[in-house]
Structure formats: C-alpha cells, structure tokens
Amino acid sequence: MSALEKVFGRTAQMIVLENLMKNRGTFTYLSGIAEETGLSHSSVSRVIEPLLAIEIITEKKVGKQIRTFTLNDANPLTGFLMDFYDELGTFLPD
C-alpha cells in the first residue's frame, strides 16, 4: 500500500494520479495506465477528465484517436502535489 493510499484511501483517480507522478516526465497512453494500474480502460478514461480539467495533467494527441498524458509541470498545483507526494513518502514509506 502506497503512502497516498494510507492517507486518502484507494480510489481510481488517486491510483491514476500516483501512476503519472511515478512516471513524471514521460507521456503514457490510456491503455498503458490501465495495464500498469490494473484498472479498466473505462475507469482510467473517466478519472483522467477531472485531472485534465484542473490542468494537473496535459494531453497530447497522436493521430486522430490516440491520446497520451503526462503531468503538467507548468502548473503550480502539480508542483505542490509532487512536493507533497515526495514529502509524504518520508513519513509513510510504502
């Protein structure tokens, strides 16, 4: 159980966000996130939208149908979350 799960519980949105934080700096596909997290493709798609809306993550389209995602390092909220995530790990290691 990760430090985030210990504090906030296990939700699909938290799982997706943590996956993106662990893979920061890289673009990943919806299906890749689903495979890595064990969530269904539809669950990942559903929880990605609110993260896009508040600009914690960014989307890059490849072709007409393929969507890739990464953390939005330009957003101060993302920086705050990353600092919190890193600091939380010092208090509650996995």
What is the predicted pLDDT for the residue at 8? 72
Overall domain count for the chain:
1
**Residue 18 included in any domain:** yes
What is the predicted pLDDT for the residue at 48? 95
**Residue 53 included in any domain:** yes
**Residue 36 included in any domain:** yes
**Residue 58 included in any domain:** yes
Q: Is the pLDDT score of 94 beyond 80?
A: no
* CATH number of the domain to which 17 belongs: 1.10.10.10
Per-residue pLDDT reduced to its tens digit, 32-89:
999 999 999 999 999 999 999 999 999 999 888 889 999 999 999 999 999 998 888 8
Nearest to 54 by CA among 33, 70, 77, 24: 77
What is the predicted pLDDT for the residue at 41? 93
pLDDT tier at 3, thresholds 50, 70, 90: confident
**Residue 37 included in any domain:** yes
DSSP for 12-75 reads HHHHHHHHHHHTTTS-EEHHHHHHHHT--HHHHHHHHHHHHHTTSEEEEEETTTEEEEEE-TTS
**Residue 94 included in any domain:** no
* Count of other CB atoms within 10 angstroms of residue 83: 10
Q: Write down the pTM of the prediction.
A: 0.85
Nearest to 14 by CA among 28, 25, 4: 4
In this structure, are residues 55 and 75 in contact, taking their beta carbons and an 8 Å threshold? yes
